[in-house]
Amino acid sequence: MENLLVIADMYEVPKDIAVKRAEKLLDDLGLMEKKNALAATLSGGMKRRLNVAMAVIHDPEIVVLDEPTAGLDPQSQLVVTEYVRELKEIRKLTVILTTHEMEVADQLSDRVAIIDHGKLLVLDTPENLKDSIGKGDIMEIALYDEAKNKMAIEALKSMEGIQDVNEIRGKIVVRALEAASKFPKIFTLLESIGAGILDVSLRRNSLEDVFITLTGRGLRE
């Protein structure tokens, strides 16, 4: 509570208003039971939630958050993301958020800017960015023997209906329209070249796919 009131006082928020805002923020961010605890004794996730509360105690029109969900446990991440969504959708504030977590950017953003080595590569809605690298589904295939990935990729590139094939973090990533219907032919093709399949998953394009397409590497390389 003292941390919040000090920040409120810096922005000349009247004491009675500051106390009411602080109590609501502590309640909204799941910190009310820690109201009188020393900030240094809070867990990492609770400290991050306190950081968010301190950023909005003075009721700004623009909120800038630098990786607010980085390293959080699932519970704290959910609390923070839902609160940021409330700032944007209910309180209609402008939120500028930096993150390396593409799922968070996808969930919360109206517009996403992808920056690589200080250069702005793209700026658009999440859906437009995902559509820009090709419509369709993403199939991720893990082989028992990663040494056969290159041979498998070359074989898959020659298959009709396949839009794109790459290797990312040891997995073969295939983009195709109605990819699920192509499973039988893909499995047969891979078996014919002796590439045993360890695991297969199917999903939509993601913002991480967009990042990799633009930069040629994974987010944490």
Q: What domains can you pick out in the chain, each with its CATH number?
A: 2-98 (3.40.50.300), 134-204 (3.30.70.980)
* pLDDT value, residue 133: 77
Mean pLDDT of 170-185: 87
Question: pTM for this structure?
Answer: 0.70
Residue 217 has pLDDT above 70, yes or no: no
Mean pLDDT of 154-180: 87
* pLDDT surpassing 60 at residue 167: yes
Compare 9 and 183 and report the one with higher pLDDT: 9
**pLDDT above 80: residue 216:** no
pLDDT at 2 over 70: yes
- Calculate the average pLDDT of the chain: 90
Question: What are the angstrom distances between the C-alpha of 218 and each of 50, 206, 207, 208?
Answer: 31, 13, 11, 8
Tell me the β-bridge partners of 201.
Answer: 140
Tell me the pLDDT tens digit for each residue of 45-78: 899 999 999 999 999 999 999 999 988 888 889 9
SS3 199: strand
Nearest to 98 by CA among 69, 127, 73, 140: 69
Residue 219 has pLDDT above 60, yes or no: no
Which of 71, 74, 78, 58 lies closest to 12 in space, CA to CA? 58
Residue-level pLDDT at 84: 94
* pLDDT at residue 218, as a whole number: 53
pLDDT for residue 30 is more than 50: yes
pLDDT at 138 over 90: no
Work out the percent of the chain whose per-residue pLDDT is above 70. Answer: 98
Per-residue model confidence (pLDDT) at position 220: 46
178 vs 26 pLDDT, higher one: 26
d(CA 62, CA 172): 42
User: Region 207-221: what's the mean pLDDT?
Assistant: 72
Torsion-angle region of residue 100: left (phi > 0), alpha (psi -120 to 50) or beta? alpha
